[in-house]
Amino acid sequence: MLIAVRARRVIPLAGEGPSRDPRDLFSPPRVLDDHVVVIRGIFLDGTGQAVVAGGTCAAPDSADAPYDPVGAARVLSGLRGGIIEAVEPMDAFRRRTGVPLADLGEVTLMPGVVNCHAHLELSHLAGRTVLGGGFVPWVKSLLPLAGAETPPDVRAAALAEAARQLVACHTAHVGDITAVAPAAVRRAMQAASIGCSHFAEVFGYRFTTRDGEPAAPADTAALWPRAMAELASDLAVDDFPPSGPTISPGPAPAPGAPFPIHPDAALAGHALYSTHPVALAAARRWCERNHRVFSMHLAEHPDEVEFLTTGRGALADLLAVRVLPPGFAAPGMRPVPYAAELGLLDEGTLAVHCVQLDAADIRLLAESGAHVCLCPRSNAAINVGTAPARALAEAGAPLCLGTDSLASNHDLDLWNEARALRDLPAGHDLPPAALLRLLTVDGAAALGRGDIGAIVPGRRARLALLPQDFSQALGITP
């Protein structure tokens, strides 16, 4: 069925992104006045019942409905799996017949936001880690908690709360790092109608075969994280795209994979200091061959820089206990040039954090075309520094945003990440117009998602409301 939503203003971001030129990134977005988004799909009311013409989503035939962000948010949360059919002026929509209309009133409609980096399986650790003392104290507090057995009901409750937070800020899609509970995360995201890209991390320097024998890090079968197998075994009909089969015995293994691969799953590297360089390069090549985004943490904290350049420091002491092989020698390079030397940086890479950068690092990242995911509140909470967001944007590095985990952040509201960047001192901040693109079209590009990020026909109807403080800052509130 067709349904429609009307808003006083619509920011479609049609034909945009990813933004490489700061003039485009910082420019005011195009705003459509008094427009309707027509959607092919189903609208569910608060009880989960489908609404038909003349039902509860019908609204007065008026362009002067009062400002009701709560009611508008409720309408948007009812959309499930719809595809945008048309974006048209209200006057043109009046000529349609039999299409129910939800009039959102004096709000600004925009694409749903894209959270490019989260660790949702850590949601049950909210408020339990040591913050403010730097990376090593934080990870020392995290490891025993993350390694402890978590009852399924505890994890499920935490993931349900995480999903609620993501829904509240109208998250269309999330890029999630996974290791131990990908199926639980996927089920929580599916229940909330949130898209999810799963990044299964390759970690460590020692790799073994399925028989437990030592394996070289370039041995593809030895690389595969358990999370990838769990996702493959959890495949369901709903995981196939609309154009795919209605029933299937399961997808064929992707090239180089020892088992079928979930269509929304990819290999990822943890970090330069925690994963064998040959393993990182092998995982990156697999992602390239299979048209998947390759994600990794990069230049996140001062300990990382010290370890990679000198082989010493608190991080070196921590890694020596549980990760590094005997005789390990540091590469003697800063993180970004080392990643470039390993062939890890190009348009298919999502480099997360990128806090500890000098001018040469910024130039190299921008030239590589790698997408940079900024997580400012997590960086501030752990106390690892502030990413040079403005310098990265002005150099032409494509940027996006992520919340990281509830073990290092206060919530999963991506608008709060945008506010953190907006409110930095002049010279480090990003203007609201740029942040709008980071939240939507640029985030979609960073995750390789051509089906979201803009309000245009053919894309998924993942819609959001522009918060009033951003509307005022953009100068589009009457």
- The string of pLDDT tens digits covering residues 285-302 is 999 999 999 999 999 999
Cis peptide preceding 18, ω within 30 of 0: yes
C-alpha–C-alpha distance, residues 153 and 254, integer Å: 33
Distances (CA, A) of 310 to 109, 136, 164, 306, 402: 50, 17, 44, 6, 30
pLDDT at 96: 92
The pTM of this model reads 0.93
**pLDDT band at residue 59 under the 50/70/90 scheme:** very low
Mean pLDDT for the chain overall: 90
What is the pLDDT averaged over residues 227-236?
Answer: 82
* Residue range 200-208: mean pLDDT, rounded: 94
| Range with lowest mean pLDDT among 98-112, 226-240, 359-373, 389-403 | 226-240
Q: Is the pLDDT of residue 103 over 60?
A: yes
Residue 70 pLDDT level (bands cut at 50, 70, 90): low
CA pair distance 421, 415, nearest whole angstrom: 10
Per-residue pLDDT at 51 exceeds 80: no
pLDDT in tens, 312-344: 999 999 999 989 999 999 999 999 999 999 999
pLDDT-derived band at 173 (thresholds 50, 70, 90) equals very high
Does 57 have pLDDT greater than 80? no
Confidence grade of residue 66 (pLDDT, cut at 50, 70, 90): very low
Amino acid at 401: L
**How far are the Cα atoms of 39, 124, 190 from residue 408, in angstroms, in the given order?**
37, 12, 24
Helix boundaries (H) for 78-151 = 90-93, 135-147
Residues of the chain with CATH 3.20.20.140: 113-452
Q: Is a pLDDT exceeding 90 seen at residue 371?
A: yes
Which of the four pLDDT bands, split at 50, 70 and 90, describes residue 42? low
Tell whether the model's pLDDT for residue 85 goes beyond 60.
yes
Structure confidence at residue 120 as a pLDDT band (50, 70, 90): very high
Residue 62 has pLDDT above 60, yes or no: no
pLDDT of 45 reads: 52
Domain range 113-452, CATH class: alpha beta
The better pLDDT of the pair 244, 50 is held by 50
pLDDT at residue number 55 = 34
With a cut of 60, say whether residue 241 has pLDDT above it.
Answer: no
Average pLDDT over residues 124-128: 97
Q: Which residue's structure tokens are 């041995």? A: 219
Contact assessment for residue 82 and residue 40, using Cβ atoms and an 8 Å cutoff: yes
